[in-house]
Chain A
Amino acid sequence: MSVIILFMAGIAAIAGWWLSQQRLTAKPWLEEGVIADVRGDSAPAKIGLGVFLAVVGSLFALFISAYSMRMNMADWRALPVPRLLWFNTGVLVLSSIALQWAHVAARRDDMDGVIVGLGAGAAFAVTFLVGQLLAWRQLNAAGYFLASNPANSFFYLITAAHGLHLMGGLVALGRTTAKVWRGAEMTRVRLSVELCAIYWHFLLLIWLVLFGLLTGWAGDFIDICRQLLN
């Protein structure tokens, strides 16, 4: 459970910092009149996405916690990570870059750039998903079935969870693209594109962490976490 504890500590630090900006030492029983608030001017949707990312982060931190606890047991046999995952990782990086491109283009009011960025981002993301499916098939063909070892089970489970989140993102991306297609105002498009880009970068970050975990590089880090708490 060390990974989720560290994650929660991070969330607590952010929440603590935010609360420290909120005049929690105010004495409201002495204050009359309208007081200016220290609220940020971010769009509610952006704050909503931030909170949602915390939830998704918590979900994956828990998966990783479970992974690190289960991998210590005697029956764990690490599976060879398909080389295709390297290609997939590269494609996901490109997808993220494409959406960043769209975001920058939206800020410059460059509608063509937005369309190119969104299209390329979606194409790369779909390629990533197809690549993940192919990786599953390779593993299956090599005899690494879902239930034959916990390492395999975790591999399929975690990659599936990540893929499902990306598919959810594709739905949002589709809606954004439709908005652009219908010729919506740039101000509205800008926010949607930005939200998609943030979500994509976050899923890329999650994937890099998961990739490190699945290839075993993160083993040392997990050991350190375990030492810290045991």
Chain B
Amino acid sequence: MVDVPYDAIPGIPPPGIPPAEVGEVELYHPKSWWTSYVFSQDAKVIAIQYSVTAMSIGMVALVLSWLMRLQLGFPGTFSFIDPGQYLQFITMHGMIMVIYLLTALFLGGFGNYLIPLMVGARDMVFPYVNMLSYWVYLLAVLVLVSTFFVPGGPTGAGWTLYPPQAILSGSPGQEAGIILMLVSLILFIIGFTMGGLNYVVTVLQARTRGMTLMRMPLTVWGIFTATVMALLAFPALFVASVMMLLDRILGTSFFMPALVEMGEQLKYNGGSPLLFQHLFWFFGHPEVYIVALPAFGIISDLISTHARKNIFGYRMMVWAIVGIGALSFVVWAHHMYVSGMNPKFGFFFATTTLIIAVPTAIKVYNWVLTLWRGDIHLTIPMLFALAFIITFVNGGLTGLFLGNVVVDVPLSDTMFVVAHFHMVMGVAPIMAVFGGIYHWYPKVSGRMLNEALGRFHFWVTFLGAYAIFFPMHYLGLLGMPRRYHDIGETAFVPASAHDLNAFMSVAALIVGFAQLVFVFNLIWSLFKGKEAGGNPWGGASLEWQTPQTPPGHGNWGKELPVVYRWAYDYSVPGAARDFVPQNEPPARSPAQGLHP
């Protein structure tokens, strides 16, 4: 298509460019304290509500991991952790971390805050639905929490909730825990869909003048693509949850085969547990990238800003995000190599799994090449971004191991898998979350996070995470099984492995403690932090150019910004500063055309 300069025809905006000012009637104005801060329709408030809720429930999952590590590191010492509870801790830890923390925080938290600001919109396009999304999410979290207090406790079926064991009486939480878990997931999906529609349509229709898709920061691309994926993948979990709920409550046999339990023939007949696994992983694998793509985007922006250099290979980064999003829908059965599915499928899914490593590797190369000869500022966000790259590469490489059927089969039920996925979709995305929070906290609060506490938090978390998960690969190779409450005396696990387990548990306690320091820092800096000003990092993207910090209601004052360039104009030769904001008009000189 032909590029048209905006001011080519005075007074008449060219086609495709929305009017300069969105009428204020379109923006919802709160009328009371309640509608400003509680039932708010402002995406920024909703973002904070999402983030606080997600981090709060994340702290519960953190404590659960402590309890698990105490049991693994010092078996027999803590008599209050019985085998059933251990399984419940595993299940709730996994479920909370993957869905209620990471998905909600990246999309509901970062998405809500950053999308309107980064694309130059006043708010999300459907603010009321957006508000509803948060409250349904909160309800889902409350239902999840309630499982801790019902008779029998939460489900202990593992975060994958595989039938038939998930609803048999041998599994903890079979009474009410599993029912509430499924209800909570169904609520989460309904709430997410409401938010997701907002994120997608805001990116599509509410971008300001000049903000073409190819000028959007990669954070927006990551969140946008992840949201599209989530909207299409979550229905699989929805269908699986509804069908399992019917199996559990009304005695249907969607997933439940004929079974004899305690000498008694159950009412179930002929169901297919494999069908559940297909549905679950059709959601479950895209879920990995639903968490990873926003992290990719955030890391790209962090690296570019803190290395004062434009992102290397922007186009390729966008294509890689889209490519990964598409490919992630055809790799799901690599989680099912040991499930008894048709073995020929294994070859197909191993191939697609290896193919998806290509665009992912391109992104890693591009981050490294962005750093190459950059003016690297080792700020806390940059430290977290560097830690992300290292950790993601680490977890990605073990993923290549596990993507191959012959390697996966012997390792599948060992700690190696636990180490792999914690590296690639536990530690790595959390590094992106922390990096993002340290980076954007000054915009959200107007104050900087405390530097010393931040550095302490980074080093303890980064080194501690490696102290926990690096030895875990070794334990997995030894054959140490996962999901076991107590390994006991076995010939193949040497005594030194138990010492290693104790070491990892101590590390886990310390890393957990560092997160409390982080939470303290978040609260303390809100009141006592150094004043940040509007743009403390010298960021070029739009969110740093708001007239007020924190941005006011409607984000942009009277007029929406006009975008003249991409989001990565750092260290431009001849420019007055080492960054050129996206909304700074080009210098008018005869020598400089629109497209040099």
Give the interface of A toward B (CB within 8 A): 1, 4-5, 8, 11-12, 15, 19, 22-39, 41-42, 44-45, 47-48, 51-52, 54-55, 58-59, 62-63, 65-66, 69-70, 73-76, 146-147, 150, 153-154, 157, 161, 230
Contacts and interface: CB of A to CB of B under 8 A. Distances in A.
A73 B314 CA distance: 50
A44 B251 CA distance: 43
A112 B253 CA distance: 51
29 contacts: A4-B236, A8-B232, A24-B213, A24-B214, A24-B315, A27-B315, A30-B596, A31-B566, A32-B592, A33-B5, A33-B210, A33-B586, A34-B7, A34-B209, A35-B4, A37-B16, A37-B207, A39-B18, A44-B125, A58-B232, A62-B236, A62-B279, A65-B279, A66-B254, A69-B272, A69-B278, A73-B272, A75-B270, A76-B270
A157 B272 contact: no
B193 interface: yes
B568 A29 contact: yes
Nearest to B4: A36
A103 to B, nearest CB: 22
A75 B268 CA distance: 11
What's the interface size class on B, roughly? 35 or more
Given A27-B315, A32-B586, A157-B246, A39 B207 contact: yes
A75 B253 contact: yes
A26 B125 CA distance: 27
A10 B427 CA distance: 35
Contacts of B254: 66, 70, 150, 153-154
Interface in B304-340: 310, 314-315, 318-319, 322, 326, 329-330
B235 interface: yes
A45 B200 CA distance: 12
Given A47-B204, A62-B239, A73-B270, A38 B596 contact: no
Nearest to A47: B201
A15 to B, nearest CB: 8
Closest 6 CB pairs of A and B: A34-B6, A75-B270, A28-B566, A34-B210, A59-B235, A153-B252
Contact of A12 (B7, B279, B314, B326): B326
A142 B7 CA distance: 73
A66 B205 contact: no
Given A24-B318, A62-B282, 14 more contacts: A1-B282, A22-B212, A23-B214, A24-B214, A30-B596, A31-B594, A32-B565, A34-B210, A37-B17, A39-B18, A44-B202, A51-B201, A73-B272, A75-B253
B242 interface: yes
Contact of A33 (B200, B236, B315, B564): B564
B297 to A, nearest CB: 15
B271 A150 contact: yes
B3 interface: yes
B215 interface: yes
A41 B204 CA distance: 11
Contacts of B562: 34
B250 interface: yes
Contact of B253 (A29, A36, A48, A153): A153
Contact of B212 (A35, A52, A58): A35
Interface string B383-400: 000000000000000000
B315 A23 contact: no
A15 B5 CA distance: 28
B231 interface: yes
Most buried by B among A25, A27, A45, A66: A66
B595 interface: yes
A150 B253 contact: yes
Most buried by B among A5, A8, A76: A8
A1 to B, nearest CB: 5
A19 B322 CA distance: 10
Given A24-B319, A48-B125, A75-B253, A69 B310 contact: no
Contacts of B239: 59, 62-63, 66
Most buried by B among A12, A45, A51: A51
A34 B568 CA distance: 16
B5 A34 contact: yes
Contact of A51 (B207, B231, B563): B231
B38 interface: no
Contacts of A5: 330
B52 interface: no
Contact of A22 (B14, B213, B267, B279): B213
A18 to B, nearest CB: 9
Contact of A39 (B196, B204, B330): B204
Contacts of B275: 66, 69-70
A36 B14 contact: yes
Contacts of B210: 33-35, 37
B89 to A, nearest CB: 31
Contacts of A27: 315
A25 B212 CA distance: 12
